[in-house]
Amino acid sequence: MLKNKKTVYFCQECGYESAKWMGQCPGCKSWNTFVEETVSTKKSLSSGITKSSEKRQEPVILKDISLSEDERQTTKIGELDRVLGGGIVPGSLVLVGGDPGIGKSTLLLQVCRNLAEKQVSVLYISGEESLRQIKLRANRIGQFNDKMQLLCETNLEVIREVIERKKPDVVVIDSIQTMFHEDVSSAPGSVSQVRESTNILMQIAKGMGVSIFIVGHVTKEGNVAGPRVLEHMVDTVLYFEGDRHASYRILRAVKNRFGSTNEIGVFEMCNTGLEEVKNPSEFLLNGRPEDASGSVVACSMEGTRPILVEIQALVCQSNFGIPRRTAVGTDFNRVNLLMAVLEKKVGIHLAASDAYVNIAGGMKMTEPAIDLGICLAIVSSAKDIVIPDNVMVFGEIGLSGEIRAVSMAGQRVQEAKKLGFETVMLPEVCRSSVGNVEGINLVYVSQIRDAISYIMRK
């Protein structure tokens, strides 16, 4: 074996590094994921920033750094701009993750088209599809002008050379798992390749001020395939999620150095590419059942935007000793906790009942503000009372059955009013911040018991 080559084992799920093979990864606890990879012990390929001892560095005064060059580039896709924190920052590295077939390539191709229209030069580098395949997809999306260039390549040294020569403003790499560097001997898609490739792309982005979008596939656990380290290296991590069988898609920021991470963007897959869904609440509340028990509309803040969703619950007699509980789209443990509160503090007998809770439309919501919605849906199903469909509820529930304050109550009420709801049930503690709103009936509650007796009276 060569002197400067050594092999180490990497967990292909999380990037854990070990000198020996192991059955179970101590990092992510998955089994049989270690693969032997050769690493070069020579100077790392990406050590371009080091050698600080040779060059004298001077610190800069924070006040003197000018931001004029950091103007954001809008993509003309409002939903994407918001998730990015207001547009593309020059020199940023953005990772777009998601299941295969969810629409990553489609979205980025649309971004390229919009940017090219604004005379921004873009380079789309694909390691997955041929030029013909990309052309076919592009035909569905629309007209492209000559600022948009394509390249089918997987060798990063070639890519670096092309970028240096063509000097595009924005580059798309589809996908990072197909890229490789000759000096790393392991296969494309392996931990060391992905890490090294991202490193090189980061140098290009920061060194030349090019904004780079990287597409990454996700594993069955939902992480970007290969190492978690990738997420630490890039500036922004966006996940594209949604049911492949449903037409809408949600773009979520998991990490963002240039904006908030709570923002989501909603899209719908049409036959001409992805369309923005400007009003997700209306979209999600479509097709609600009328006069059905076990259904209530709740509100969750996703970033700066309130989103209304229908929460459904089905409570029925359990046939076995241990009741079944299922939560789809929300936290299972939270549902169990809320059921225990209902049992103990309100005296509703649920211990011998199966319960299924579902957030309609396939949305995932974990904000505690939907607690009141979950509780009322469960009670509504257990007692078979219909909650009128013009009622919206929100509030966090504490362990003693109290209804606690949530943030941005006023905005949630406004959203409900905009969508034509007539009654909003909200925490008593929010009264001082919300007060009275014209045209909508506000029901302030301080205990879950009060909330339940209100819907019983209705």
Q: Which residues bind Mg ion (CB under 5 A)?
A: 105
User: Beta strand pairing status for 148-152 and 122-126?
Assistant: parallel
- With respect to Mg ion, which residue has the nearer C-beta, 82 or 217? 217
- With respect to Mg ion, which residue has the nearer C-beta, 105 or 293? 105
- With respect to Mg ion, which residue has the nearer C-beta, 105 or 193? 105
**Phi and psi at residue 138, to the nearest 5°:** -60, -35
Nearest-approach distance from CB 129 to Mg ion, in angstroms: 7
Judged by CB under 6 A, does residue 207 bind ligand TYD? no
Decide which of Mg ion, ligand TYD, none touches 140; Cβ closer than 5 to 8 Å per partner kind.
Answer: ligand TYD
SS3 40: strand
Q: For the sheet with 17-18, list strands across it.
A: 17-18, 5-11, 34-40
Judged by CB under 6 A, does residue 280 bind ligand TYD? no
- With respect to ligand TYD, which residue has the nearer C-beta, 205 or 269? 269
Among 165, 171, 195, 166, CA closest to 8: 195
Which of 15, 87, 273, 401 touches ligand TYD (CB under 6 A)? 273
CA angle 222, 228, 230 (to 5 degrees): 115
- With respect to ligand TYD, which residue has the nearer C-beta, 103 or 306? 103
Distances (CA, A) of 5 to 37, 43, 149, 290: 10, 11, 38, 68
DSSP percent split of the chain into helix, strand, coil, nearest 5: 30, 30, 40
- With respect to ligand TYD, which residue has the nearer C-beta, 68 or 271? 271
Judged by CB under 6 A, does residue 137 bind ligand TYD? yes
- Residues whose CB falls within 8 Å of the CB of residue 145, separated by 6 or more in sequence, listed in order: 116, 117
Nearest-approach distance from CB 370 to ligand TYD, in angstroms: 29
Nearest-approach distance from CB 105 to ligand TYD, in angstroms: 3
Using CB under 6 A as the binding rule, the residues of this chain from 212 to 271 that contact ligand TYD are 269, 271
Which of 48, 101, 142, 222 touches ligand TYD (CB under 6 A)? 101
Judged by CB under 6 A, does residue 103 bind ligand TYD? yes
DSSP-derived letter for residue 400 is: T
Strands (E), 220-369: 236-241, 248-256, 264-270, 273-276, 295-302, 305-317, 325-328, 353-359
| CB-CB neighbours of 213 under 10 Å | 25
Tell me the C-alpha distance between 256 and 265, whole Å. Answer: 14
- With respect to ligand TYD, which residue has the nearer C-beta, 137 or 255? 137
Which of 39, 102, 184, 363 touches ligand TYD (CB under 6 A)? 102
Nearest-approach distance from CB 299 to ligand TYD, in angstroms: 30
Interface ranges with ligand TYD (CB under 6 A) = 98, 100-106, 137, 140, 269, 271-273
